[in-house]
Structures are given as structure tokens and as C-alpha cells.
Amino acid sequence: MSEFVNIYKIDDNSLKNAKYYVTHNMLVAFPTETVYGLGCNALSDEAVKAVYAAKGRPSDNPLIVHLPTDCSYEDYVFDNPMAGDLRQAFLPGPLTLVYKSKNVVSPLVSCGLDTLAIRVPAHEGAQRFLRYVGIPIAAPSANVSKHVSPVTAMHVYRDFGSSIPMILDGGRCEGGIESTVLDVTGDVPVILRKGLVTAEMVKKVVGACVYAGDGSELSKRSPGTKYRHYCPKTETKLFERSQVNGALALYDDCVESGKTALIMCDSSVAKDISDKNVFDLGESGNVMANRLYYGLHEGEKYDLLIGIKFDVDDEVKLGVENRFLKAFG
């Protein structure tokens, strides 16, 4: 018996149903310009619990609240001029700001922290959804915990099937990796999760910005970053950029034994091995971000996914590399 497919184009009819679901504390997956989100009513403990349960997400990994462009931040958080300048420069867009919370949404959203992360996505479908439902939507990425984040509606469907009532389809996500998470509660903004908005870009607007190093004291402000993430459901093997011959030997062994393999690498390697199954991540950080999760999902169609490391010569690649290394953990 075929399962009911719960993927819907975004129109007035699907939005009306989406509003019914989220106001009744059920979950709706929706597209953003970064990855798909699994949305729930941020005001309801019951709805937030349902998101953690559906994902199998650790209960100390807080969620981001998604708001429409015409929202009032003061309703939810204590604002400050630096945050205002950053919003002016980057929002709507792939930047999440962490503020001191006014504790208006369910305390389960921030896992008991005194802060709240807010994001205003640029994706037109996300904005239509957020405006239409008219309540703050808490949303983690719409994948089962630890799995690769989804960048198409079908990726969401493969993780959740029809166990959630609705997946809104807004096409393939352009950005391709999760938002930059930036803590603006202190004098100097701190990047807790790397993404498409880089420290350099933030510095140009407010004069300063630092990265919280992985495992550092600062990184503890973002509990989610300590967990393993982004794992494809297939065997993986990682090689240094200088070990391409080793990767090719493994690929050949795999094919000779009757199995299938895919090599994921940047264009500088891909151009020389086009006779193999290759997923070319591209050259620039932005293109690599757009392709990374899509490629990891493609890799699941093979018995073995071989990764080849790449040079980090632009800042966006820091965020791509972080996820790439976790995926090949």
C-alpha cells in the first residue's frame, strides 16, 4: 500500500491548512533559503515537545524562532542598537541573532537558557507561511537528529514520511547550509555557528566580530554545536587533498567488488577524475554551500561515499568545511 504523500505547493489552500496544523500544535515543514525547517507553535510547550520527539533531538539543543519581516522584536527579546544595525544589513537572510529573552515563548524553545535565537528568513515561501500563520514558529532543521539537513521537500519526506501532517514545497534551498548563529548579547558579537554570513561581513557593519572556536568556552553558549551532525546513511571515508590516489584506489576496489561509490570533492579535483562517479562541490564557498547537503543526500544512493578535503580559501568555506568534516566524522 502506498503511503499518503504530504508534500504541498505553497498556495492559499495549503497555507490555510498549515495554519490549522500549527495552531493545533502539530508540525509543518517549510522551506527557507538555508535548509528546510520543521515548524511548530513556539508559544506551546506541547508543540515544542513534539518537535524534539519527532527529531529525536537532545533536549539541551535549543531551537530558533522564525518570524516574518514585519515582526516586532521587542515582543520577544531585549533589543540593542548593534542588533538593529545587523538586522538592517542582513535581514531577511541567513543570519540568526541570539538576544536576551523576555521569556514570552515556551521555555522549552531555549532549553532553559536566558537567551532566544531569532531568524527572519528571506525565502518568499517561508515569509508567506510565517505571515499567514501569525504566530512565532520555532523550527530546527527538518531532519531526524544527526542526519543530513534537508534541502528539498523530498529529503524531508524521506526522514519523516507522513508522520507529520504537512511538508510545504518551496523548491531546492539556495543557501544550502544552516544560518550563521550570532550572539549579540555582549559588546562584541560572537559567531556560534558558521554560515553564509561571515565574521568579515559582520565586522564591516559593526566593527568587530569573533568566532567561538569549536569546544571553546564561548561555544558553550550554543549547546547544539557539540553534537555530531549531518551524517549520511551510507559508509563514508575521508581523504586529504594530497591523498587523491588513495581515494581512487579505494574507489576502484569498491567497484571491482561489485559495489557502487561516489567521490565528493571540489572542482580542482573533480576536473581530473571525470571518468568516475563524482559529485563536484564547485569552487567558491557559496556554490559549495549550495551543493554540500544535496550531494550528501545523493551519496546515500551509493554503497560508499568518499570525501576529499578542500582548501579553505574563502570565509564561507569555513562553514562548509565544518559540516563536511562532521559528515565524514
Q: How far is the CB of 40 from ligand AMP (least distance, A)?
A: 12
Q: Is 32 in the site for Mg ion (CB under 5 A)?
A: no
> Which CB atom, from 195 or from 299, has the smaller least distance to Mg ion?
195
Grid cell 579505494 in the structure block, residue: 250
| Residues 33, 176: Cα–Cα separation, whole Å | 7
Q: In this structure, are residues 61 and 160 in contact, taking their beta carbons and an 8 Å threshold?
A: no
Interface pattern 179-208 for ligand AMP (x via CB under 6 A): --x----------xx---------------
Q: Is 155 in the site for ligand AMP (CB under 6 A)?
A: no
Could you list the beta-strand ranges (E) of 26-80. Answer: 28-30, 37-41, 64-66, 77-78
Name the grid cell of 138: 520555532
| Residues 245, 251: Cα–Cα separation, whole Å | 10
Q: Is 141 in the site for Mg ion (CB under 5 A)?
A: yes
> Which CB atom, from 223 or from 246, has the smaller least distance to ligand AMP?
223
Q: In this structure, are residues 56 and 50 in contact, taking their beta carbons and an 8 Å threshold?
A: no
Q: Is 117 in the site for ligand AMP (CB under 6 A)?
A: yes
Q: Work out which of 7, 89, 113, 218 binds ligand AMP, going by CB under 6 A.
A: 113
Name the strands in the sheet holding 261-265, side by side, starting at the edge strand that comes first in the sequence.
235-239, 304-308, 261-265, 278-280
Q: Is 105 in the site for ligand AMP (CB under 6 A)?
A: no
Choose among Mg ion, ligand AMP, none what residue 110 binds, the Cβ cut-off being 5 to 8 Å by kind. Answer: ligand AMP
| Residues 143, 56: Cα–Cα separation, whole Å | 10
Q: Is 225 in the site for Mg ion (CB under 5 A)?
A: no
Q: How far is the CB of 252 from Mg ion (least distance, A)?
A: 35
Grid cell 562584541 in the structure block, residue: 188
Q: Name the one range near ligand AMP by CB under 6 A: 112-120, 125-133, 150-158, 315-323.
A: 112-120
Q: Is 222 in the site for ligand AMP (CB under 6 A)?
A: yes
Name the grid cell of 9: 505547493
Alpha carbon separation from 6 to 3, 97, 136, 138 (Å, rounded): 9, 32, 23, 21
Q: Which residues bind to Mg ion, rule: CB under 5 A?
A: 141
Q: Which residues bind to ligand AMP, rule: CB under 6 A?
A: 61-64, 98, 110, 113, 115-117, 140-141, 178, 181, 192-193, 221-225
